[in-house]
Amino acid sequence: MSRDELEAELVELRRAVRELSERIAIASDDAVATEKPVRVECAPTDDDLRDTARRLDDALHGRLAPEQLTRAENIMWNAMFSLSLGRPSPEAERFFADRERRGLGVGLDDHGNLVWATSKADAASR
């Protein structure tokens, strides 16, 4: 990640942490047993947010097991992981753009019939 991307991620994490600290009750081990949620209010420092951003990035990229995250981090990780499933990564976009360029793969036409892909170069020459 570039420095600008990290800074943008940090800004987004600050917003997310503030929102989560306002909206999500985190139960302590004792509260779980008695089913009484305990609200955790915090004002994280920039160092805390950078550490959280690093840990979340590590977990999202498989360098840290999600089980090693704190409860609050795990809540954020789950939200970020779920969002990431809804959009392709830059690597996935490059992979599928290359497959499309080379005419690899199959799909369905407008009538639901199975068709082989053609490369853009082949399609342009027709």
Residues in the chain predicted with pLDDT less than 70, given as ranges, are 1-2, 6, 17-44, 119-126
What pLDDT is attached to residue 121?
55
One domain, residues 13 and 29: yes
One domain, residues 75 and 98: no
113 is in which domain, residue-wise? 90-125
Q: Where are the beta strands (DSSP E) in 18-125?
A: 106-108, 114-116
Size of the chain, expressed as the number of residues it contains: 126
Q: Which two tokens stand for residue 42?
A: 């915090």
One domain, residues 76 and 110: no
One domain, residues 25 and 44: yes
One domain, residues 80 and 96: no
One domain, residues 39 and 56: yes
Give which of 109, 48, 96, 99 is closest to 73, Cα–Cα. Answer: 48
One domain, residues 71 and 105: no
Share of the chain above pLDDT 90, in %: 12
One domain, residues 51 and 81: yes
Q: Does the model's pTM come out above 0.85?
A: no
One domain, residues 80 and 94: no
One domain, residues 103 and 46: no
